Chains A and B, each alone.
Chain A
Amino acid sequence: MTDTDWPLWEVFVRSRRGLSHTHAGSLHAPDAAFALRNARDLYTRRGEGVSLWVVPSSAITASSPDEKDPFFEPAADKPYRHPTFYEIPEGVKHL
């Protein structure tokens, strides 16, 4: 049943207005119009979304697991990059 040469698409769902689209999963579809429809059927049938993006998986350039250390390791020991050294005045909301 999965014997298909349809390309793979990545699906992004915006769950409600004001939030950004979040990756939900992937699917196969013959073209973009059908990818959008399949995404509707697979990822929003329980009221999960108000907007959908589909992107050909082949259009995504991903970081490689082999490059994990040079990419991400150097960030691990630099706590000064986190904005945690400020005193937050009392009464400031929504921070």
Chain B
Amino acid sequence: MTREAPAPTAAHTADAALALGDDALVLSHRLGELMGHAPVLEEEVALANIALDLLGQARILLSMAGDEDELAYLREERAFRNVQLVEQPNGDFAHTIARQLYFSTYQHLLYDRLAAGRSPFAGLAAKAVKEVAYHRDHAEQWTLRLGDGTETGHERMGRACTALWRFTGELFRPLDGLDLDPADLEPAWLESVGDILGRAGLAVPDGPRTGAWTAGAGREGLHTEPFGWMLAEMQHLHRSHPGATW
């Protein structure tokens, strides 16, 4: 169902910037955790590039909502507005890729639509949509190879896609401040992800994509347990040495 998007106000714009900025920041940090731990050197650079693209987006978005450093380093867990999908741990490489496939497909559809609109996000989206197109392609290439490769790869990729499926419904919850309803992106997302999983020889997971316990959770500040650990690591330096500079 298409919802009539409310006329965006400055406060709504800041809220939406915070939500999208937190998505980018948190996923960027998760990918950053793989530095020094990626399976091969070339893949490490690829993941670092994606993380840096996302960090760049996060800086612009968080600056639209306030002071970027304060927002990133001094908020408590409950004040973060990212979807739960992006805070999920890297797990094995298949989990990292499944998370990226789900999120980048969503983000690409979102930025593509925002770029065509007239909201304060149009400029950022127009630039970022090209970065995200590459992130999506990277995840797709790996999904195809892991899913349609060895028996182990197939099994692990299938397991990862299923494990993260329940976090994908939240992506399409309404978000005030955007000139679109994320729910409108859902059919295209399902088609795109379904097509890639099909070509990878993987079944589209059939479990629920949300549950009563997850409904809008991340956007409302309710996060999964691993997020607290991530945040502690991300924030401890700044909190231990406030105002420190190089």
Q: B138 near A37 (CB under 8 angstroms)? A: yes
A33 at the interface (CB under 8 A from B): yes
Closest to A28 in B: B42
- B138→A1 contact, CB < 8 A: no
- Is B41 an interface residue when CB atoms closer than 8 A count as contact? yes
Size bracket, chain A contacts: 10 to 19
Complex partner residue of B42 from A31, A33, A41, A45, CB under 8 angstroms: A41
Q: Is the CB of A27 within 8 A of B49?
A: no
**Given A1-B38, A1-B41: A33 in contact with B46 (beta carbons within 8 A):** no
Main secondary structure of the interface of B (DSSP, over half): helix
Taking the complex as formed, is B45 at the interface, i.e. its CB lies under 8 A from any CB of chain A? Answer: yes
CB of B141 closer than 8 Å to a CB of A:
yes
Contact with A along B48-75 (1 / 0, CB 8 A): 0100000000000000000000000000
Residues from chain A with Cβ under 8 Å of B141 in the complex: 33-34, 37
Give the A-binding residues of B (Cβ under 8 A). Answer: 38-46, 49, 137-138, 141, 145
The 9 closest A-B pairs by CB, nearest first: A38-B42, A41-B46, A41-B45, A41-B49, A4-B40, A27-B42, A42-B45, A28-B42, A1-B41
